[in-house]
Amino acid sequence: MQTRKLGNSDLQITPVGFGAWATGGAGWEFSWGAQDDADSVAAIHRALELGVNWIDTAAVYGIGHSEEVVARALKEWRGARPYVFTKCVLTWDASGKITPNHSATSIRKECEDSLRRLQTNVIDLYQVHWPPRDNGPSLEEAWTTVAALQKEGKVRWIGVSNFDAAQIRRAQTIAPVTSNQPPYSMIRRAIEAETLPFCAQQGIGTISYAPMASGLLTGSMTRERAAALPADDFRSRNREFR
């Protein structure tokens, strides 16, 4: 499979990666419904067999469970190890309530927790999952922290997710941004106006998530199937699926 250089990094990644959002399983706010871990591991292995060389996950997917499933899949995999990308700043409490936290203290703890769950000594790409809701100075605190983690060797490269061009500019005043991960598909094209051209001009990589609109564009999502999605599948509450 062909590869492309990701932003300012030395990562040569395949055009298609394995998104591990759904592998988090059921029981959390943005679940895709119940998943079988053995099926998830098999799907990861099949993707790697076909040449995919990177897996994208996040601490919040399944409140830690997706990272653990990825670690299990890689432990059982006998081929070349793929790059592993994960994300920070979405935290949860004992009840599973998810809360953004862009503080240095939180991000450092999240990084250590992700390293442990992924059973690795370094994360290939560490991404700030969302900018702060108030667009305030905690953006700078978060980016300063992940830049420090990069210098310390905890993570190899650092990126953002769901950032717009103005927010990426702010981050760049502190440290280079390797990549941005926005939603992008035939029905979600907002980034084409400013964010995508800005990233291209700056040499910042773009990793799109939900390129098939979470299944809506696959050709297998009927009106009846959408109406029958279980309550613990976030798509049942998504206006695009109504």
Helix, coil or strand: residue 205: strand
Task: Give, as one character, the DSSP assignment of residue 80.
Answer: P
Helix, coil or strand: residue 100: strand
Active site residues: 61
Alpha carbon distance 235, 237 (integer Å): 5
Identify the residue whose tokens are 């000594």. Answer: 121
Alpha carbon distance 210, 217 (integer Å): 10
Closest residue by Cα to residue 138 from 174, 177, 85 = 174
CA angle 231, 47, 195 (to 5 degrees): 70
